[in-house]
Amino acid sequence: MPNSFLARLPLSRFEIDRDALARERDELFDELWADPATRILPIFQGSALLSSPTALALLPVDAVPTAELRVYLGRSTSSTSPEPVGTPIVAVLLDDAGHLAESDWANLRSLGSRLSDRDAGIFTEALAILNWHTSHMFSPRTGEPTLSEKGGWVRRDPVSNTEVFPRTDPAIIVGIVDADDRILLGSNALWESNRYSLLAGFVEPGESLESAVIREVLEESGIHVVNPVYLGSQPWPFPASLMVGFLATVDPDHGTEPTPDGTEILDLRWFSRAELVASLTEIKLPGPTSIARAILEEWFGGPIDDGQR
């Protein structure tokens, strides 16, 4: 990732060849289970098994409890991981962790920024596709149970024989800057009252990303913005989002006094860089795994030392 902003996005990193052509082979999982090089990434209740505080544990096939849901993630391209380049990796969703229950597990939100490129990529990929599976167990056409096929990347309705493909929900997230180069942060109704972050929202059908930026900011804050500038994107599999990051400036023909919508956003505050630093003992900022943190530090000009690393 040559772009310095993209390098700030922990969950956009990857060292995996998704090997999409292999998904077409009907006997793919039989082949993988017969290959001693195959490694399994177990996922249990949204968490992954760890080999150390900052590394995922990839296990041989016979070390993992039986699981009905398997997804072929691809082949590792990492030259710095314990497993060699070309290692096939399969994610399995465990209903019961079995003998692994007493091992160390961690979730992606807390661990993502501290993982290697390979581990961040496969954990994000695994969580996103497994979340899709669990929400699409039944056909939207017939209501019948769907079947996982093509390496876990398609579900098929056996009655209508139609295929259901994975989906991702795009959402914009925006750093709003005024003429004095202050940034606007808001406190969401679902968070503790001292947590502040950027404004964000889902893209509606028939809407461009830039239009979504303008609409969402106006709806949540009453602020009119112009010139949305795309920065980068990051998958956010909680459960199925793609966060698309922007910077936008306040429209000079309108004011800067924010008005929280009172439903999603309960408070809004403008911060200069100095004011943000001075407030770190009283407010909480977005975590280091989020694109919100990356956008905030892009505006700030570097890392913000609030103890979250």
Give the whole-number percent of the chain exceeding pLDDT 70. Answer: 99
pLDDT digits (tens, 9 = 90+) for 151-179: 999 999 999 999 999 999 999 999 999 99
DSSP class of residue 40? E
Distance CA(101)–CA(215), nearest Å, equals: 46
Neighbours of 26 (CB within 10 A): 9
- Determine the distance from the C-alpha atom of residue 68 to the mean position of all C-alpha atoms in its chain, rounded to a whole number: 24
**pLDDT score, position 2:** 45
Average pLDDT, the chain: 96
Sheet holding 154-156, edge to edge: 147-149, 154-156, 163-164
Q: What percent of the chain has pLDDT over 90?
A: 94
- CB neighbour list of residue 113: distance below 8 Å, 6 or more residues apart: 10, 287, 288, 289, 309
Residues of the chain with CATH 3.90.79.10: 169-300
The mean per-residue pLDDT over the stretch 131-141 comes to 95
Find the mean pLDDT for residues 136-165.
96
Q: What is the mean pLDDT of residues 221-233?
A: 97
The pLDDT value given to residue 308: 85
Residue 216, SS3 per DSSP: helix
Check residue 4 and give its pLDDT: 82
- Which residue's structure tokens are 């992954």? 48
Return the DSSP state at 77: -
How far apart CA 86 and CA 99 sit, in angstroms, is 28
- Residue 122, pLDDT > 50, answer yes
Considering only CA atoms, which of 163, 156, 153 is closest in space to residue 72?
A: 153
Instruction: Return the DSSP state at 204.
Output: P
Task: Give the model's pLDDT for residue 148.
Answer: 97
Is CATH 3.90.79.10 the classification given to domain 169-300?
yes
In this predicted model, what pLDDT tens digit does every residue of 274-285 receive, in sequence order?
999 999 999 999
Across 209-222, average pLDDT? 98
> What mean pLDDT comes out for the span 219-239?
97
Residue 1: its pLDDT value, please?
A: 39
Tell me the pTM. Answer: 0.95
Residue of 217 and 3 predicted with greater confidence: 217
Confidence of residue 65 (pLDDT cuts 50, 70, 90): confident
In the chain, DSSP finds a helix count (H) and a strand count (E) of 6, 16
- Residue 3 pLDDT class (50, 70, 90 cuts): low
Question: Which of residues 101 and 309 earns the better pLDDT score?
Answer: 101
Cβ–Cβ contacts within 10 Å for residue 144, how many?
A: 12
Q: Per-residue pLDDT tens for 24-42?
A: 999 999 999 999 999 999 9
Give me the residues paired with residue 242 across strands: 170, 235
Whole-angstrom distance, CA of residue 241 vs CA of residue 194: 25
pLDDT category at 307 given cuts 50, 70, 90 is confident
Residue-level pLDDT at 66: 86
